[in-house]
Structures are given as C-alpha cells and as structure tokens.
A and B are shown apart, each in its own frame.
Chain A
Amino acid sequence: MIDDHQSQFAAEQALIQTPPELDPTLHPPTQHEAQKANPRKHMLVIGGSVLGGVVVLSVILGIFFKKPATVSQVATPPPEEAVQQLNSTQQALKTLQDEVDAANPQDYSFPPPPVDMNITF
C-alpha cells in the first residue's frame, strides 16, 4: 500500500514540477508585430494624444500668458448721449415728479430736533 502511495505521490510531483508544454504559436505579439497587425489604430492613438496635449498646453499657456485685451476688445463706455436714456420729455416728467414729491407739506417732516433745551441739574 505504501509503495502504491509513494509511487502515486512521485507521479503527482513529477506532474507538478514538469512545466506545461507551451504552444509556440500562442506567444504575445511583439511591438513590431502589433504595429504590423493594426497600424491605423496606433496612429490614431498617437495623433489623438498629441492633439490633446496641444489643446491642454494651449489652455495652460492661454491662462498664464494671456495677452492684454486690445482696445477693440475692451468694453468701451457708451457715449454720454446713450447713458442719458431719458429723453427731454421723460426727464421733464421726472423733474416735475421730484419737485412735487419734495413740495408735499403733509409729508414735510423735518421738525427741529427733539432735544432737551431746558436742562436742570
């Protein structure tokens, strides 16, 4: 029985230690082989990477080395005529309203200060 077991063990060890036989056709392709196998895809990857790099670089350079805006790019204030949006009649209406508001005797609340003018000690 022991001999049977020993021989079985030895046979199993031999199986474990023996490297499996490799199929010579299954080795990974070399770089050269990969290029040969799919050159168009490779070029697209390289091209895309370069393009992305250029874009990122442009953005970074644009941030750090931004040129001052030219005169035409700076928002120029509108002419004085444009600022004064009210035409003469509208302005006259506003002026009249201001005057009328200021003239209201009932709302005229500007009495002398409520301070004690008769101090006793």
Chain B
Amino acid sequence: MGILGLTLTLHSVRASDLFDQAQKDYSFQLEKYRDAYRDFDLKRGQYHNLQTFASQDSMVKAAATMLSHRDEVWYAYLQDLRVQLSETDGLQPALKDVLVQKIVDWEAVVTANKDQATQATTIEAVTQVAQSLDTQGVVMQSFGYEVAANVVWGHIQSSITHANDLSLQLKAAVSKQIYDETVKTTRLNGFTEVDKSLALAQSTLDSVRAERMQFGSAYDVSTEYKKVVDELTPAYEQVQRASTLLHELSAGVEL
C-alpha cells in the first residue's frame, strides 16, 4: 500500500480499527523489507566475489530497492505511533500535538529519503542515501521510545480516571458497607502505588525532556525513556488490581 493510500485509508475507518490496520501494514512492509534485504545481501556477496561492473550494477539496484523498503517500514512505524497517540486519552493535548508534529517531521524525512533511494543508480548515490539515515535512524528510535513512554503514561492516567468514575457509579449502586469494604481492601481511593509510580516516572520524563541535549547519545535518551516505562509498572499493576476488583464488585450489583 502506498503512503498516500495508507493515509487516506487511515481517515476512513473507525479509530478502534486503525491500530490493527497500522500494525498489519507495518508487518507487511517489514516482510517486504526482509525479502529485499536478503536479495541485496546476495547481490552484495556476488559483487564482492566477482568484482564486475555487472555485479556492481545488480547490487546497486538491489540496494536501492532495499533502502526504499526500509523507508516504507519506518513510515509504517511512524503511522503506528500516530495511531497510538490518537487513541491515548490521558495525555495533555498540547503534548500530544508536539509529538504528532514530530511524527509529521519524521514522515517528511523518511519520504524524502525514499525518493532519493528510488532515484539512486550508482554506488555513490546508494551509499549517500544509506548514510543519510544512519544517524537520524538512531534519533528516530529514541523518538519511538519517547512516544511509547508517553502512551503508557497516558493510558495509566486514563485508567485512573475511568476507575474513579466507575467506583463512583458502583458506590451509588451498592450498599455502603460493601463499598467501604472494597475500598478498604483495594485502597481504591488512594491509588498509593499509582501515585508513587507516576511521580517517579514524571520525574524521569521531566529529566529526559529538560536534559535531552545533555545526554551523550540518542541511545542514552532511549534508555531513559525505557526507564520511564519500567517505572510505570507499579502504577500499571495497581490500576490492574483496581480494575479486577471493580469487575468483581460490579458482578454483585444489579445493573
């Protein structure tokens, strides 16, 4: 599926289907890239063995195709990030806008690189195309982790909001004794671990955002964002417990 086609399709289906579709497209593009890479690897080996103009030309063509597919994979990945952001309610709209704008910028970079790859006909040209995304690719990877950390964060925030709303609904539906007992058992009102976990993750997120330029490399930034995701695990476990207990509580309620 072409880039334009995917974009149009993304606007024409329901949001809940968007993620599945984006992931399918990503997997499809990744498979095509792997095929192209195998072919390129084969042609590169033949070129190294034969050292002829014909084998070099064959390798250049295979490299251009492979690089083009590689950019398609990146584009599909960025589409996935965009869909994930759009389906995350717990994020501040301003933050979401910033992240979406970054996705748009990266899409432009990847698209331009793909255009160059399709036009490359010499070994110098494909080398240049390959190298142009070498460093930027690492930064894109870091950005992917940044989106991931924020998506997890947003879903946990949203889970807390929904859990609180639901507990209020159930409070109105069950006897005070049952509700108080449940709250006591689950510490539903407090979300103590959630608060601690979110505070820690928030601190790390702020640190990464504020000191992004001071990190030694994009790899370090990626590591910090992965740390944020790990720090959110206790918060996730707490909302998971709350969700389970709310399900159990609602099972005894005449809805």
**Interface secondary structure of B, over-half rule:** helix
Chain B residues with CB below 8 A from A121, complex form = 44, 47, 59, 63, 123, 126-127, 130
Q: Does B188 contact A (CB under 8 A)?
A: no
A57 nearest CB across to chain B (Å): 51
Do A119 and B67 touch across chains, with their CB atoms under 8 A apart?
Answer: yes
Q: Does B18 contact A (CB under 8 A)?
A: no
- Assess A111 versus B144: contact at CB under 8 Å? Given A89-B253, A117-B133, A119-B63: yes
Do B255 and A96 touch across chains, with their CB atoms under 8 A apart?
Answer: no
Contact with B along A98-121 (1 / 0, CB 8 A): 011011111010111111111101
Do B159 and A112 touch across chains, with their CB atoms under 8 A apart?
Answer: no
What is the number of residues of chain A that contact chain B, defined by CB distance less than 8 Å? 28
Do A92 and B169 touch across chains, with their CB atoms under 8 A apart?
Answer: yes
Q: Please, how many angstroms separate the alpha-carbon atoms of A115 and B74 in the complex? A: 9
Do A96 and B133 touch across chains, with their CB atoms under 8 A apart?
Answer: no
A96, A97, A104: most-surrounded residue (chain B CB, <10 A): A96
**Interface secondary structure of A, over-half rule:** loop
Do A89 and B70 touch across chains, with their CB atoms under 8 A apart?
Answer: no
Other-chain residue from A93, A102, A108, A119 in contact with B229 (beta carbon distance below 8 A): A108
- Assess A105 versus B162: contact at CB under 8 Å? Given A89-B250, A111-B144: no
Do B233 and A96 touch across chains, with their CB atoms under 8 A apart?
Answer: no
Contact with A along B83-103 (1 / 0, CB 8 A): 010011110000000000000
Other-chain residue from B47, B89, B138, B162 in contact with A92 (beta carbon distance below 8 A): B162
- Assess A105 versus B236: contact at CB under 8 Å? Given A89-B166, A115-B74: yes
Chain A residues with CB below 8 A from B44, complex form = 121
Q: Does B205 contact A (CB under 8 A)?
A: no
